[in-house]
Chain A
């Protein structure tokens, strides 16, 4: 139906609306009006995607000049597909209501692996292989070579696209990945390049985080996106980690060894070319003098790892003389590599800031900062000149040159770690486009995000679920039946009594909770310890009488197998327990709807490994630059992961689930206060420090209550509104009240 949000006409494709969706749209509208950042938190299953899309689309239609584009960043491919489906529903509704076909173009973008339709290439299994193969067919110099040598393999889809694809824009409509492929097959165009070209004039783009955040990729894909875009990060509770990952380089001794061979190959190729085609090298030299800017022209397909965020001025400058000729550059690389090798030969851990590192490198091997900055760009140019097709082979040397550029470009916030085994660099810098609207599920406390990411939001709101029945039951179990305090903290980690009580808790829960239980541990090591000791005490055997047990392992294939079997066991009434790890794959991406997760048990508080150097450096950085205390950050981080794990079980208003926090530390106000509001609300004083028995009793009662029939009529007017109800004065007041609270 149609809604009036603060003067904006919004079409909403469903007959009913949740009150929190309405207030969510209000907040969003305010954010857009103010053209600022916004951080909005909303529990899962309350329809945030559709409310977000319908508001922004309406906004785009109303003010086509203010907002030209919506960029929706999601995490996984299924998520992306889901967003596109919602969007399709919305558009169908628009056509039905207004009677006119609108020329909206919305599309999803993913990697070549998901989009390729070339019969040979698309059958490859790994993303890297697909990229490499595609590259070997479509790179500009390969195609140039083909003029002289027509026997080289070619991708007819790309050729077709190159000839006519650019002139024929993608017709308006909603495209998910399969639609793009279909379109590609019909027209004979390469879907990947069609999509990449089309995002320039699309109204809505849905793609993965990395296309925007990871500077190495963002440079390619998102560079030309208009300034007036709305950027939405879905499930952004991990956004800081994604940022850090994208700016980190990991170098091990093996990388260096591989790099060594790379450099040798480079050297040999240069020698060969010198004998056969000296002019080519000269030509390159000339280009380098002119500056790199020109090198950017027509290299759409010549993508190695693009350089890590070169500031513009670098591109305009000429490449310094020391590395301009090919031999010199190879020598330079060799020197740099030897230096790294020597540094790797340490016996203890060293931590250096970027300037320190640069100074050291200057003293030891006389490498200046300036050539280092050009290292990545120079390597690319060289590889291009040498017409090396198989880029996958050269990943090691690319990595090192990237590292060189990173370390010399960012003097602040970047730290170099030298472990006995590996190099690691971490940085906490981020770039934001125009309007960030974060719509994740677990983001509490909200104010730490803006501080950490260094931006100033205009709106910040946390929404809760209005429920017709209390369908979640958070319980904090602090003691065993024998009054032993339960905690995963370091001192009591090995304590026999604690482990036994944890086992008892799981055993008791397995007897009363139907179907699936998901149990989270703080780490793999901890899980292994506990499970081994349960086995010795015979607890595991007792649990197995009630339910089957599945375990998550670091191996992805094994885990997905376990997950599949777990779901099967839940489905046919056998019941199952999944033991998994907070921060693992299960806790991040897998939903346990309805019977797949009737209870989540959180053993301990999932703190990060605090002795880690990277974490320490990060904490230091946060303290120095953003005045966030270490402890605050650690608790915040632990609680968001706990909430994330526990939130897996409840995916909507008809769903219900138990949430058991088994650690006495959860009862403390500072921890409890950092849980999302929708969980806190249901955490009564009476359920703070329970024993196992008390917990079992409450759980039993809760499960019986929840099993009573629940119809849609019960929700109506309370947590589900029709248009008339929404327009009533009373309800509006309630909603505004809700917004004020947050």
Chain B
């Protein structure tokens, strides 16, 4: 069934007897098995949370290293690996800023034994996205250099303050790397600087990446197909568990109000946004905007670092969205529906109030409310708080 959608084209994969998975029950219906399969696929997503619900870092500095070597021309991802990767990365960057509004991203490409920065570490998604779009036409040639790419990333990351996370995500297509030096020395420095390196491999497991990720505490995955690739990138959208070693410090932040100015008003003067100073496209001339509380520079988008005084400007919802990473909702315990002690209401999900039909249900450990798998996913994915707990708190 659709357990692993588009794992390979049907004619490429092995011979499967898909019909044997399905079994009729006494009444000759297939419903039970189909539901079972659907449940299993949902449960798989649920398992992902099990491993990530620890204290997470909120401010992230992430470098994405994109391999642009010869092997990116391979057409096992359509139309080729490079185009497919860049497209997925665009989406990744958007989602990344959605989930981590006060974090930053930079992009590095490596080919022909060299590494260069495509974009600097910055908090503006549109800049990255346009750079990624442009990169589609890059000619893929030579071999990548893991060493050069990492040391380039490190040279920037090591200046980042200690309370933020320093991360590198490598999208590695080639199976070899051409290094000017012993990479194991670099891995040691990475470890000392607490830079977390994760790798997504596009073809197979490479030893040096295994060591690299294991030593620096990152994750290493190899894609099966495009769908899987997307899922793997999704994992990196969520911030990694914060290391206890990272130090705490107070950061000054500005919370500018969006000031709307009506054109009809007397003192309405269009002004330039500071963010558009170096942008070539667009006039950047507008009426309203966010004004830095410290120096009154104008910006049209948040979050951003003030170009004039260096203050981090965010809006309250942004902070709230990153804030929940610090105190993640505990994962619910899975228990069988049958034999669950309790009253009549157990038969119904506490959130959607639908009847519980799957074999297992999920229980919140603090209020012991029972939820169905769909609601559990929704609560952990989007709500980040248990509705029943909140309900009870407000009642008392």
Contacts and interface: CB of A to CB of B under 8 A. Distances in A.
Given A573-B146, A573-B183, A700-B76, A707 B176 contact: no
Interface residues of B, number: 30
B342 interface: no
Contacts of B208: 571-573
A515 B209 CA distance: 11
B223 interface: yes
Interface string B210-251: 100000000001111000000000000000000000000000
Nearest to B142: A545
Given A575-B176, A707-B201, A515 B207 contact: yes
Given A574-B176, A700-B203, A511 B224 contact: no
B14 A546 contact: no
A311 interface: no
B12 interface: yes
A395 B12 CA distance: 65
Nearest to A512: B203
Contacts of A512: 175, 203-204
Interface in B259-313: none
Contacts of B204: 512-514, 598, 700, 703-704, 706-707
Contact of A708 (B12, B184, B222): B222
A575 B175 contact: yes
Interface in A515-556: 515, 545-547
B8 interface: yes
A513 B210 CA distance: 15
A112 interface: no
Contacts of B14: 686
Given A512-B203, A514-B203, A686-B14, A546 B175 contact: yes
Chain B interface mostly: loop
B205 A573 contact: no
Nearest to A546: B176
A595 B207 contact: yes
Contact of A705 (B15, B76, B203, B224): B224
B182 interface: yes
Interface in B169-208: 175-179, 182-184, 201, 203-208
A567 to B, nearest CB: 11
B172 to A, nearest CB: 10
A147 interface: no
A704 B224 contact: yes
B71 interface: yes
B206 A573 contact: yes
Contacts of A547: 176
Interface string A557-598: 000000000000011111100000000000000000011001
Contacts of A546: 175-176
A511 B71 contact: yes
Interface string B40-70: 0000000000000000000000000000000
Nearest to A701: B8
A128 interface: no
Nearest to B14: A686
A709 B14 CA distance: 21
Interface string A189-232: 00000000000000000000000000000000000000000000
Contacts of B71: 511
A693 to B, nearest CB: 12
A490 B209 CA distance: 43
A30 interface: no
Contacts of A514: 175, 203-207
19 contacts: A512-B203, A514-B203, A515-B175, A515-B206, A515-B207, A545-B143, A572-B179, A572-B182, A573-B146, A595-B205, A595-B210, A686-B14, A700-B203, A701-B8, A703-B204, A703-B205, A705-B224, A707-B201, A707-B205
Given A514-B206, A704-B222, 19 more contacts: A511-B175, A514-B203, A514-B205, A546-B175, A546-B176, A573-B183, A573-B206, A573-B208, A574-B179, A595-B205, A598-B204, A686-B15, A700-B203, A703-B204, A704-B203, A704-B224, A705-B224, A707-B201, A707-B221
Interface of B: 8, 12-15, 71, 76, 143, 146, 175-179, 182-184, 201, 203-210, 221-224
9 closest Cβ contacts across the A-B interface? A573-B208, A707-B222, A595-B207, A707-B205, A703-B204, A514-B204, A573-B177, A514-B206, A514-B175
